[in-house]
Amino acid sequence: MSTILIDGQWRSSVNGQTIEVINPCDNKSFTTISRGTSADIDLAVAAAQRALDGAWGRMTATERGRILMKFGELIIKNAEEIALIEARDTGKPMTVARNDIVAVARYFEFYGSAADKIHGQQIPYLNGYNVQVVRVPHGVTAHIIPWNYPAQMFGRTLAPALAMGNAAVLKPSEDACLSGIRLAQLAMEAGLPPGALNVVTGYGYEAGAALTAHPGINFATFTGSPEVGVMVQESTAKNAVPCVLELGGKSPQIVFNDVDMDKAVPIIVKAITQNAGQTCSAGSRLLIQQDIYETFVGRVAEAFKKVKVGTPEMDLDCGPIVNAKQFARVKGFIDQAVASGVPLLARGVLADGVSPEGYFVAPALFGAVPRDHQLACKEVFGPVLAAMPFSDEEDAVRLANATEFGLVSGVWTENGSRQQRMAQRLHSGQVFINCYGAGGGVELPFGGMKRSGHGREKGFLALEEFSTTKTVVLHHG
């Protein structure tokens, strides 16, 4: 399949090479994608620059918004087809894939309708001067996204960038990019001019590295692992190009002794098992106040035992891990924890009939996990929950903030003053109180503190992040 989009044309890679696409449910190849390299990136960046110099650059914000909203409509119209592609590529349950596609459409509706609602400023200055601060696109923007929510990430990263008039080059993950290919076809159908959106499939170390190091880009946004995020920042820094990094997390769910248990348990279980735990904002640490520890962890264990893992068609609670490397990594964490004597409190179940060749992992609940154990601080990126007791509010804050990450926190308490204090003291980009919205909500600014990254996507803040300002000083006497 020719999966590279440059200047509105679908093409094979310059070197003609391809990459096999593996079904995580049975470890079998079912199609190929083009293996783009630096030669393809050069062409894509040049096409994006031409779009900025041409029709796309001249388009009004209202016209851009209209195209994005039309794109949103086309996504909804083709939702079932895209959901099937997404489920096959990632292994996720059909219901989840369907929800993801509705979310992608929402990104284009939200930012399409916001495109002409971002205003500049006029600044009072010296007599005889008119000073305006206008918001302008960065120019050519580079977008590197991971495999866990490929369709949603496509919308999250591209919708605000295109709304602000940037011309984008997307390098989706080599592990899951098929929904992105179909979405890009629909973007063309919606009327996006050639070159406004370019897609280069390929490996991260080839196409991805070439894109972030390219002297022709003006901005980069990366979602993925902290290790690669640092490499992206280094390479963009060499060209003095700003970048947004959305990296991993080890998000705490902090449960106080006045929690509404019936409400909390299902949400906490879903927040770590949804998408087989392959969610950057998964609630992967369960911190429970000592005096209710046994009762609460027992309730969570009962719920964990009912979590079922299967194929997209079985449409259960979660699917497989995305690839062999991640599968080995997740199993490694579980095996190491068991070997080092951390109590394994509960496991979910693999459905009858799943292939032994697939990358299926039964969700695992561990507790009480020692505070210095790797399960307490390292990101697993799989369905593994680490429960730990804490004594009081002070201890809860210390423990919650004790990792190198700071993406999302969940707080469970009915005490209003404590809700406020906790929200203030937690070091994370989002705090949910008596709810948990891993991944959801296009309206809500999202991003990390500490090693979870910097910069914000989603919400109106993304429109500011994906643009810059120009101060125009006019002397009229």
Q: Which of 224, 277, 389, 410 binds ligand NAD (CB under 6 A)?
A: 224
Which window, 28-36, 143-151, 286-294, 420-428, contacts ligand NAD (CB under 6 A)? 143-151
Strand segments, DSSP code E, in 362-429 are 364-366, 384-390, 408-412
The verdict on 141 binding ligand NAD (CB under 6 A) reads no
Q: Which of 147, 219, 333, 360 binds ligand NAD (CB under 6 A)?
A: 147
Q: How far is the CB of 446 from ligand NAD (least distance, A)?
A: 7
CA distance 83 to 371: 40
CA distance 240 to 105: 33
User: Active-site residue among 109, 174, 246, 457?
Assistant: 246
Q: Which residues make Cβ contacts (< 8 Å) with residue 136, sequence separation at least 6?
A: 165, 467, 468, 469, 470
> Is position 280 annotated as part of the catalytic site?
yes
H helix intervals, 164-224: 178-189, 209-212
The verdict on 144 binding ligand NAD (CB under 6 A) reads yes
Judged by CB under 6 A, the chain residues 157 through 186 that form the site for ligand NAD are 171, 173-174
Site string for ligand NAD, 248-267 (x = CB under 6 A): x-------------------
User: Active-site residue among 25, 177, 243, 280?
Assistant: 280
Q: How far is the CB of 53 from ligand NAD (least distance, A)?
A: 26
By beta carbon distance, the residue nearest ligand NAD is 204
The verdict on 228 binding ligand NAD (CB under 6 A) reads yes
Cβ contact 319:311 at 8 Å = yes
Judged by CB under 6 A, the chain residues 346 through 405 that form the site for ligand NAD are 379, 381
Edge-first strand listing for the sheet containing 9-11: 9-11, 4-6, 197-199, 167-171, 140-144, 219-223, 243-246, 453-454
Judged by CB under 6 A, the chain residues 196 through 215 that form the site for ligand NAD are 204-205, 208-209, 212
For the chain, what's the residue count? 477
Cβ contact 194:7 at 8 Å = yes
> Which CB sits closer to ligand NAD, 87 or 228?
228
Q: Which residues make Cβ contacts (< 8 Å) with residue 40, sequence separation at least 6?
A: 4, 6, 13, 14, 34, 200, 202, 207
Work out whether strand 308-309 and strand 129-137 pair parallel, antiparallel, or are unpaired. unpaired
Where does this chain bind ligand NAD (CB under 6 A)? 144-148, 171, 173-174, 204-205, 208-209, 212, 223-225, 228, 231-232, 246-248, 280, 379, 381
Active-site annotation, residues: 246, 280
